[in-house]
C-alpha cells in the first residue's frame, strides 16, 4: 500500500522510481486524493489499484486479496489443487466437495502452499509466513501441521522434499 501524501517525497514519484527499477510487486494506492484525474495518474504511474479515503475496511481487504491472487497467478478467489479447494473469501476448504475443518494455522499453511503450487517451500519460509518474528524456529510445529493436513486431506496432497521443504501436489 502506498500513500500519495508522503512527507518527504510524493507517492507517485516513489511509485515511478519503483517501476523504473523493475520492481514488479503489486501496489495499491491508498490516498485522500479522489478526483478521476488523480486516479488516472496513479494507475498510469504503475499502481495496480487505487482506493480513495474514506473507505470501508472490508473493501480494502478484498482489494488486497485480489492483488495477492493476481500477483501469484490466480484470478479466482478459489485456490485449487486437484479436488482440494480453498475459498479465500469464505475461508472454506473442501476435498472432493466435502468440507474440511482446518485450524487457523493449518489454513494459513495450506493457503501458502496453494499460492506457491508446484514450487518447493522451505520450512523457514512457512514459519515466517505463519508466525511472528519471535517464534522458536527450532520448533517442529510445521511438521505437525503438515501431518494434520495430510490426515484431513489425504497423504497425497503435500510432499516432503528432504532437506528443502514441502511441495503441494495435484491430488487425484
- Over residues 25-34, the pLDDT tens digits come to 889 999 998 8
| Segment 19-45 mean pLDDT | 89
Q: Are residues 45 and 92 located together in one domain of the fold?
A: no
The answer to whether residues 100 and 93 touch, using CB atoms and an 8 Å cutoff, is yes
The whole-number pLDDT of residue 90 equals 85
Q: What percent of the chain has pLDDT over 90?
A: 42
Residue 99 is assigned to a structural domain of this protein = yes
Size of the chain, expressed as the number of residues it contains = 172
- The answer to whether residue 1 is domain-embedded is no
**What's the whole-model pTM score?**
0.60
On whether both 164 and 93 belong to a single domain, the answer is yes
> Quick one: 47 and 86 in the same domain?
no
Q: Which domain holds residue 62?
A: 11-71
CB atoms within 10 A of CB 70: 13
pLDDT of amino acid 171 = 60
Which grid coordinates are listed for 46? 504503475
Answer yes or no: do 159 and 96 share one domain.
yes
Average pLDDT over residues 151-169: 92
Residues 6+ apart with CB under 8 A from 134: none
Do 17 and 64 belong to one domain?
Answer: yes
Q: What is the pLDDT of residue 147?
A: 95
Amino acid at each position: 500500500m502506498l500513500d500519495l501524501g508522503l512527507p518527504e517525497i510524493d507517492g507517485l514519484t516513489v511509485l515511478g522510481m519503483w517501476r523504473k527499477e523493475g520492481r514488479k510487486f503489486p501496489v495499491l494506492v491508498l490516498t485522500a486524493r479522489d478526483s478521476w484525474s488523480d486516479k488516472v495518474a496513479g494507475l498510469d504511474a504503475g499502481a495496480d489499484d487505487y482506493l480513495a479515503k474514506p473507505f470501508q475496511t472490508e473493501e480494502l481487504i478484498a482489494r488486497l486479496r485480489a492483488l495477492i491472487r493476481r500477483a501469484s497467478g490466480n484470478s479466482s478467489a478459489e485456490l485449487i489443487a486437484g479436488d482440494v479447494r480453498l475459498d479465500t473469501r469464505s475461508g472454506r476448504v473442501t476435498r472432493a466437495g466435502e468440507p474440511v475443518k482446518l485450524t487457523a494455522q493449518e489454513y494459513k499453511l495450506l493457503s501458502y502452499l496453494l499460492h506457491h503450487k508446484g514450487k518447493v517451500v522451505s520450512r523457514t519460509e512457512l514459519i515466517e509466513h505463519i508466525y511472528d518474528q519471535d517464534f522458536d524456529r527450532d520448533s517442529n510445529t510445521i511438521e505437525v501441521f503438515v501431518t494434520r493436513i495430510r490426515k484431513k486431506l489425504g497423504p497425497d496432497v503435500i510432499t516432503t522434499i528432504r532437506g528443502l521443504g514441502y511441495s503441494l501436489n495435484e491430488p487425484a
